[in-house]
Amino acid sequence: MKRWKWLCIIVIVCSLAGCWDRKEINEVSIVSGITLEKETSGDITLTVEVVNSPELSQQAEGFTPVITYSDTGKTMSELLNKMNKGLARNLVFSHLQTVIIDENLAREGIGPYLQYIEKDARFRSDFILLVSKGVKASDVVKTAYPVHKVPSLKLFNQFETVKERWGDFPILL
């Protein structure tokens, strides 16, 4: 009887230990920024900026520090499902810093997209929301900067600095 108790305790302790849902860093793609654009067909194009982490280290090989993926669909759910099926690595949105929305889409209303992002547990809620005016939203995350290697993190840091120094984010109408 004592053996059974000890055996049960050992089995329970062994089954509780460890990281049952862990993902290795080389199995995931860390998303730092996303863009949403309205197409002429009425569909939405989602562009995801993924950090190429080896290129941010001191031993960078000279490749691009970010990679962008785009897909077109009707809803956010459809777009994210299509992207996760099409990529070799799972997209991780827990480090999302910047959401950039095309001016045309912003004029139609961004409520459904923000509601999806708010309700989806994969997204964090402290990102900055920008509306691109006069330029495609996807071009903003494809812009290379000499000092900051990740465009969405550069924008996030820039707006945080403005907020620190001036007390709030700029709002242009």
What interhelical angle do 76-86 and 111-119 show, nearest 10? 60
Provide the pLDDT for residue 88: 75
DSSP bridge partners of 72: 45
Cβ(84)–Cβ(51) below 8 Å: no
Parse the chain into domains and list their residue ranges: 23-166
Q: Record the pTM.
A: 0.76
Provide the pLDDT for residue 18: 61
Provide the pLDDT for residue 46: 92
Query: Using CA atoms, how far apart are residues 45 and 118, in angstroms rounded to an integer?
Result: 19
| Sequential pLDDT tens for the chain (173 residues) | 677 777 777 777 666 656 656 666 667 778 888 999 998 888 999 999 888 765 555 565 666 777 888 899 998 888 888 887 777 778 888 888 889 999 989 998 888 888 888 888 888 888 888 888 888 888 888 877 776 777 788 888 888 888 888 877 666 54
Provide the pLDDT for residue 82: 86
